[in-house]
Chain A
Amino acid sequence: MARVKFLCDTDRCIECNACSTSCKNEHEVPWGMVRRRVVTINDGHPGEKSIAISCMHCTDAPCVAVCPVSTLYQTDIGVVLHDKDTCIGCGYCFYACPFGAPQFPRATLFGSRGVMDKCTYCAGGPEENGSQAEFEKYGRNRIAEGKLPICAEVCSTRALLAGDGEVIGEIYRERVLARGFGSGAWGWKTAYYPEEA
């Protein structure tokens, strides 16, 4: 069984924001909600790196673990989805998420957050695949159409990869070997082998 993943090659990401705007275009995500954004670290300094961040569809996802109403779930290919009809907007997932993926549409009286929204890996939600209800709540279901997430499909420099983790991992490994730079996982050396960085 395939296990889908995102992988952003920071040696290629140029912060062009195609991933972010293509996501808006595909799913008609309203103003103020950003399912995918590009973060630039050390902006303007030598060593500046940009990385596209969204829900990373974690294995053993913490959001799924903390959700008090079990609205979050993971599909057979590893996509973390949620059911907007049962979400209570408590925000636990937001606190649990290491990537800031869950978004909440409005702040109202008594701290109510509204129903959570996040990257669906272009896989829609629990509604009927390709239905209008699914589109309105979660956006397009490209996975059911046999396509990949739009952000990765349009990435200007092929920095953002999506697909079976094994396959994209292999692509990235080959790429790093061929070019001779770019670490196996960005930040790895910072964490474990700083002397080699």
Chain B
Amino acid sequence: MLKRKSTRTTRSRGAAAHAATEARPAGLSRRGFLQSSGVAGLGLAAMSGAPRTAKAQVTAREAADLPEFKKTVCQFCSVGCSIWAEVENGVWVGQEPAFESPINQGTHCAKGAAMREISMGERRLKYPMKRVAGEWTRITWDQAISEISEKLVDIREEYGPDSAYWLGSAKFSNEQAYLFRKFAAFWGTNNVDHQARICHSTTVAGVANSFGYGAMTNTFNDIRNAKSMIIIGGNPAEAHPVSMLHVLAARENGCKMVVVDPRFSRTAAHSDEYVRIRPGSDIGFLWGLVREIFANGWEDKEYLEQRVWSIDSVREEVEKWTPEEVEHVCGIPAEQTRRVARTLAENRPGTLVWCMGLTQHTIGSSNTRAASILQLVLGNIGKVGGGANIFRGHDNVQGATDLGVAVDSLPAYYGLSEGAWNHWCRVWDVDYASMRDRFASQELMEAAGMPLSRYMDAITEETEDLDQPNPVKAMMFWGHAANSIARGPDQMKALDSVDLLCVIDPHPTQVAIMTNKQDNVYLLPAATTAECDGSVTNSNRSVQWRDKVFEPLFEAKTDYEITYRFAEALGFADEMFKHIEVAEKNPQAESILREINRGTWTIGYTSQSPEKLKAHMKNQELFDGKTLMGKPGTEFEGQYFCLPWPAWGTPEQNHPGSPILYNTDLSVAEGGLPFRARWGVEHEGSNLLAEDSFSKDSEIEDGYPEITLGMIQALGWEGELTAKERLMIAMVGADLFTWDLFEISEEDAQGRIDNLTLDSLRDRAGTDQNDVDGSWQGGQGGRAKESDQTLSAELQDYPEIARRAIQAYLSSQEDSDEGAILPIQEKIRRVNWKTDLSGGLQRVAIKHGLAPYGNGKARAVVWNFPDPVPLHREPLYTPRRDLLPKYATYDDRRLWRLPVRYASIQEQDFSSDFPMILTSGRLVEYEGGGDETRSNKWLAEFQQEMFAEVNPADAGTAGIADGDMIWVETPEARVRVAAMVTPRVGPGTIFMPFHFAGFFQGEDLTDRYPQGTVPVVAGEAVNTAWTYGYDVVTQMQETKATLCRIATA
């Protein structure tokens, strides 16, 4: 029967591909690839008579046509899977696994495996379009940019810059995210936001306020070291499938896996223990676990004493959460709560994974803190195999958050204070006053904008209800879907009433079909992620470089170019791109990254130069698949893969990155860290600094505050600063920094320091009225004055060196009232690790084993939040009226320039008319709003219909059979979907996936898409029907717990 021997070799593609493989990282043959990967054992090499392609067979002629291999990073979730793209004559012809990536190790989920389709799919927006009297009309880029810009300028003149809303994207590269934030600043508004608001904003707020940084603490790979794992409100098997490579490896190593979810998800199917929880009751269960741990004395007492602030307040609160109360509120059997607590206590280190199930609630920022506290109580934060492993959503949502595409901060979490603006103006080489004049007022420049979750209210609220001059009149959707935002009918109303609506995206998105606006709607085709280069930060903070795979298709342009063109049309391109290389209107990613490196000191994005990132990507096989550490004997030994932030100091300082945050077992120079001393030294007389805990090799063997020049002086290390560093610090402090100092040589710096006198500084600064000692010499030889404050008893016990540091810090905190005029010398002393543009303070601190941000305690109590200790509060639309008012929500209030409703909704009883709970989540084939993935025929085929999961008992009661069309109605709207009858959801619960669009409350709107852009699969968006509800700290939308009813349709 044998017709053919397989030992014949291929002629073209195969041979070529093989030869190109040889061109991959040195010393790694195809065989090596397989052996070094998890599939080594797939054992092709072991096959006798296995076909081998000899390089010699590639003739010279064929070699000329060799395909190029480009390494890109998957555009979907935040795991950050590398992909080899095989490109022939500019066409993406093949996709090969990148076995050498330490993160995905060659693996993919459905989406990553089908990514190439974007290079062939034709259902994209192909050229700029404009709606004229209701008809989509093709226009040119020049026309589009000039018309839109003119309208924007008109709106700015009539209503002010805050009446334009710049909605950015988690699909941006870091460089584009940064440019976008900078662009909004130049436009003059803080109304700039992106998907993080509705995905992990409550995580960022909750975790940053607990530990110091709002990011996943460990790495995907580190999960392999866990002995227990609790996944709460997350379904990585569908949302982050490649993370399951590491999760299941841990489990096979004996890690006990607990999954807490209202649904028996694909992830739950692989768990040791599945806990079904009522949506919105997470705090009850988490507190039940904490109480059980305390009751049995399982807490890590030493850790809590040394590294955690005010855990006793939590102790009081959790006392209420007996396993019986947990059962009453959350529906979890008391015995199960006890068992899970024991599992977590007996199997340490343990990791905690959470996603949207925890974050998307009115109490999301409390949920994330309760989860963090559970890990603190177990002593799991800062441990290998432990951590709060928060899986972010989009491929670059971490990076876009870090680079400040947010209403409440400039890049790198500097905030919006005058100091923050001054810092970035120095980096941008822009005069602060001119920047201020771009805004409606200094007050609005420093006031957080309106979160995207409320964009429709920003458009439709009455002017008198807004804390800005006028409502939003121009809505720019730049890479954001509308169907991922709740309250469809309200959105539709808002989109109908704006003056200008613009979608900049590879697809028209639901925005284009939702609006009934007949004019002034523009669609601009943006290139996909594979069509531009740049860096992306995955969930574990590794900053990976992505190659451009192919040139933008059709008339699409890269986001970089579109940004540049708008800046040009609006008249600020020259200022904005002063130090950024631009080639044919295309700002260069490398050059933008270098500017990012110059300013992002707070989170250590300063060391990740384009050269280093590219070198890491090119040599992925030289990094370990468990630790991410460069392999011994290679040039990357001692560095972690793609320098997970913080990678302190300048690129030349070669910090290795910090794969595991708050890990004191390593020195700061090796990637270790204590908790961040972010909130000062004391709060109401209680010590916020760590006690007897410090990172390895720290010269202060105790807690200490964040680094300032004054502190370095007090510790006697000032002489270690180079002349350039001293000059830069002095100039920043004196507010005389000029951009050329970034590039000044050490010699020139010395010369300038020698000629520098306090008088000359004072004359130039022109603000210093105080008479001070004139003998200052470039910041050298000074001594911070002794603080008048006496240290509290607790701090008196600290070693002498720590006390000196604390006193120096405290002295710099005095008289810091705004407007107070300080002596220049004092201003210079106050330059700190965040504002020092030289990296010198970070360098010297790290040399002495100190963390630039200090060594503080994690906070169990966050006094600046509405609930300092996380409290359970029922969802606004709760089915459990019996739990009110005991667990009532907040009072209505005004936040983020807008009124926000809480109690006024919860007071109404909807539960009799809408008796069922509605929750939502993701599918593996689609991502986000799904415009890209539903247009991808290879993905769409596997998920062709929007559905609602209905428990068989509920289906029986309602007379619904599997596959029937049903209405799912909430108190605000309804959607028509297919019923999937399954015990995956419990009785009384309905689950719907998001991602779908095209239908709206039963009506098919797909004929409104421009011709040729209709996605392969259309359906109702769950968020059309989703109800009102926003987190009290961040305005995260509540999209996990509301009420509904079902009926046949």
Contacts and interface: CB of A to CB of B under 8 A. Distances in A.
Contact of A157 (B44, B248, B274, B937): B248
B10 A141 contact: yes
Interface stretch (A17-25, A95-103, A107-115, A187-195): A17-25
A14 B94 contact: no
A16 B110 contact: yes
Interface of B: 1-15, 17-18, 30, 34, 38-39, 41-44, 46-53, 94-97, 99, 106-117, 237-238, 241-242, 244-245, 248, 251-253, 264, 266-267, 269-270, 274, 924-925, 937-939, 941-942, 949, 982-984
Given A163-B46, A167-B42, A18 B94 contact: no
Given A16-B238, A126-B3, A171 B13 contact: no
A130 B42 contact: no
B241 A18 contact: yes
A61 B530 CA distance: 42
A146 B2 contact: no
16 contacts: A14-B244, A18-B108, A18-B112, A24-B941, A25-B938, A73-B1, A75-B5, A77-B50, A146-B52, A150-B97, A152-B42, A161-B42, A163-B43, A166-B46, A167-B46, A175-B252
Interface string A26-48: 10000110100000000111101
Interface string A51-67: 00000000000001000
B938 A164 contact: no
B42 A163 contact: yes
Contacts of A83: 3
A129 B10 contact: yes
A176 B110 CA distance: 26
A11 B97 CA distance: 23
B266 A14 contact: yes
Interface in A108-146: 123, 126, 128-131, 135, 140-146
Contacts of B42: 148, 152-153, 161-163, 167-168, 171
Contacts of A73: 1-4
A155 interface: yes
Contacts of A1: 48-49
A141 B15 CA distance: 11
Contacts of B43: 163-164, 166-168, 171
A155 B949 CA distance: 27
A79 interface: yes
A43 B110 CA distance: 19
Contacts of B252: 175, 178-179
A85 interface: no
Contacts of A75: 2-6
A46 B274 contact: yes
Contacts of B17: 145
Contacts of A171: 41-43
Interface centre among A1, A75, A81, A128 (most CB of B within 10 A): A75
Nearest to B939: A21
A162 B983 CA distance: 34
Contacts of B1: 64, 70, 73-74
Contacts of B49: 1-2, 76-77
A185 interface: no
B107 A144 contact: no
Given A17-B924, A26-B94, A153-B106, A163 B266 contact: no
Interface centre among B3, B108, B113 (most CB of A within 10 A): B113
A45 B983 contact: yes
Given A74-B1, A144-B14, A145-B18, A158 B107 contact: yes
Given A44-B982, A141-B14, A158-B245, 14 more contacts: A17-B942, A18-B107, A18-B241, A22-B95, A22-B114, A24-B938, A25-B938, A44-B984, A81-B4, A129-B10, A130-B11, A146-B18, A153-B97, A178-B252
Interface size class of A (residues with CB under 8 A): 35 or more
Contact of A123 (B6, B9, B107): B6
Nearest to B83: A154
A14 B270 contact: yes
Given A15-B266, A43-B984, A153-B39, A146 B14 contact: yes
A105 B4 CA distance: 26
Contacts, number: 238
Nearest to A161: B42
A147 interface: yes
A4 to B, nearest CB: 7
A156 interface: yes
A139 to B, nearest CB: 11
Contacts of B96: 147
Q: Which 4 A-B pairs have the closest CB atoms?
A: A167-B43, A130-B10, A2-B47, A44-B984
B14 A128 contact: no
Interface centre among A32, A50, A76, A155 (most CB of B within 10 A): A155
Given A129-B9, A156-B242, A143 B983 contact: no
A65 to B, nearest CB: 10
B53 A144 contact: yes
A142 B244 CA distance: 27
B553 to A, nearest CB: 17
B41 A167 contact: yes
Nearest to B37: A153
A6 to B, nearest CB: 10
A84 interface: no
Contacts of B938: 21, 24-25
A161 B34 CA distance: 13
Contacts of B48: 1-2
Contact of A14 (B111, B241, B942): B241
A156 B76 CA distance: 14
Contact of A164 (B18, B46, B264): B46
B391 to A, nearest CB: 14
Contacts of A155: 107
Nearest to A130: B10
Contacts of B237: 14-16
Nearest to B50: A2
Contacts of B12: 130-131
Contacts of A64: 1
Contacts of A154: 97, 106-108, 112-113
A119 B925 CA distance: 21
Given A16-B924, A74-B2, A168-B41, A156 B46 contact: no
B1000 to A, nearest CB: 26
A156 B41 contact: no
B226 to A, nearest CB: 15
A142 B266 CA distance: 31
Contact of A21 (B2, B6, B110, B267): B110
